[in-house]
Structure 1
Amino acid sequence: MTEFGNPVRLADIGDRIAIGAMLARAFANDPATSFIFPDDEERAKRLPRLFALLFDEDARGMRVMTQGGEAAALWRGPGQNHTSILDMLLQAWPIWRIFGGALGRALAVSNAIDAHFPAGDYWFLHIAGCDPAAQGRGLGGAVIRSALDRVAGSGLPAYLETATPRNLSFYRGLGFEVTAEWTVPKGGPLFWSMMRAPR
């Protein structure tokens, strides 16, 4: 699929490491990742492994990327927004290796996100990012639009949350509207919940 001259495709396991590294660069200064890993060097070291793990977790949903891997969006399908207890137990060691002493802050963010999920069925835009070196070329919008086109026949809304204020106008341009504003406890960042009505 090509959108606005940008080839977009579904990602597979062979893209795991490259997408994890790209998302780490995209989220290097994100308020949530900066809260979880306050130290810049520690954050740069741990984020690629974190995003590779999240790439694996979203295998049952939809993983969309530009052909060159400059941008990607990881989606969870209806009813898949929460991670099961079994999945958490299976991932316990990798999670500990990724977070170490930052696990408490990571859980504070994760629990706050879980607490603000809306009721009902929807597609959840779990993670979306564009390599800073490739921003401004429409690649981030292309991967999100491609996924939205793929789920258009489902009759379901799409949901996301963001802790980055400049993302609000970007997502509004894609049809999302703010539905809630909330703060992660214990000094965490401000988040916005956004929903896009079915098209």
Structure 2
Amino acid sequence: MRLATRSDKDLVLNILTDSFLENKSVNYLIPNDHRHKERVRALMDYSFETCYAFGKVLISDDSDAVALICFPENKKTTLKSLIWEVNLVINGIGIGNVSKAMAREKKISQNYPQTPIYYLWFIAVNPKLQGKGIGTKFLQEIRKDAAGMNRPIYLETSTIRNLPFYKNAGLTEYSTLDFGYTLYLIRG
């Protein structure tokens, strides 16, 4: 596993975009219109920039899996971060979904401890290579990284079939939220 560089951005965005096109949590905020894939990519771009600045962007050694890690206490409002947010609104979620996004984020973050966490915002394996153990190995490396930083991992998923993946990795579901779909809150 390695830290991403700026030159890895397209690789990271491609894997994330392709992996999350049909995700309930992503599609809760992203309009399902003729620009859907472009909008999902805008969300991933925003997430990449946020984690690159205030966390980590990780890539598996084989470049088939990626993860966006955020350290919420490091997140700051800067001119750049404001530009990223404006781009997300214009090119991703749309103005009409801003309050919905903010309300959801508030409900989710109320479930985090006040101590520093290792927030696994997104993790994805190239969709053509899923089911081959790449994600399992990658998540094990991520857990070691979090343990080395003495931070618990927190994440959410709306994909029921991913629950055993996280459980087998030693993570536990500790709550759920209802947004018209079930969002499973996981930690470890």
Q: CA offsets, 1:133-178, max 9 Å, x none?
A: 1101122222222222223233332111111111111101111011
User: Which of 50, 56, 62 in structure 1 is aligned with 2:56?
Assistant: 62
Aligned sequence identity (%): 24
- Secondary structure of the structure 2 residue equivalent to 1:148: helix
| Counterpart-to-counterpart distance in 1, 2:14 and 2:144 | 26
* TM-score normalised by structure 1 residue count: 0.80
For the pair 1:49 / 2:42, whether they are aligned, the reply is yes
For these two proteins, the number of residue pairs brought into alignment is 184
- Is the Cα–Cα contact under 8 Å of residues 76 and 125 in structure 1 kept in the other structure? yes
Tell me what 1:146 maps to: 141
How much has 1:89 moved relative to structure 2?
3.1
- Secondary structure of the structure 1 residue equivalent to 2:132: coil
For the pair 1:76 / 2:70, whether they are aligned, the reply is yes
Tell me what 2:7 maps to: 14
Identify the range of structure 1 (90-99 vs 9-18) with the bigger mean alpha-carbon deviation.
Answer: 90-99
* TM-score normalised by structure 2 residue count: 0.84
| Counterpart-to-counterpart distance in 2, 1:113 and 1:54 | 16
Tell me what 2:184 maps to: 192
The 5 A counterparts of 1:110-129 are 110-129=105-124
User: Which of 24, 29, 45 in structure 1 is aligned with 2:17?
Assistant: 24
- Secondary structure of the structure 2 residue equivalent to 1:79: helix
Tell me what 2:158 maps to: 163
How much has 1:40 moved relative to structure 2?
5.5
- Is the Cα–Cα contact under 8 Å of residues 27 and 33 in structure 1 kept in the other structure? yes
How much has 1:23 moved relative to structure 2?
0.4
- Is the Cα–Cα contact under 8 Å of residues 3 and 57 in structure 2 kept in the other structure? yes
RMSD: 2.2
Which structure shows the bigger proportion of residues in helix conformation?
Answer: 2
How much has 1:85 moved relative to structure 2?
4.3
| Counterpart-to-counterpart distance in 1, 2:171 and 2:21 | 24
- Is the Cα–Cα contact under 8 Å of residues 146 and 153 in structure 2 kept in the other structure? no
Q: Amino acid of the residue matched to residue 57 of structure 1?
A: T
CA 1:153–1:9 in structure 2 vs 1: closer, same or farther (change >3 Å)?
closer
Identify the range of structure 1 (31-40 vs 134-143) with the bigger mean alpha-carbon deviation.
Answer: 31-40
How much has 1:117 moved relative to structure 2?
2.2
Give ranges in structure 2 of 5+ residues lacking alignment: none
| Counterpart-to-counterpart distance in 1, 2:187 and 2:117 | 9
Q: Amino acid of the residue matched to residue 111 of structure 1?
A: K
| Counterpart-to-counterpart distance in 2, 1:84 and 1:97 | 21
| Counterpart-to-counterpart distance in 2, 1:69 and 1:52 | 18
Q: Amino acid of the residue matched to residue 185 of structure 2?
A: S
| Counterpart-to-counterpart distance in 1, 2:125 and 2:117 | 23
Identify the range of structure 1 (135-144 vs 60-69) with the bigger mean alpha-carbon deviation.
Answer: 60-69
- Is the Cα–Cα contact under 8 Å of residues 17 and 52 in structure 1 kept in the other structure? no
Give ranges in structure 1 of 5+ residues lacking alignment: 1-7
How much has 1:78 moved relative to structure 2?
6.6
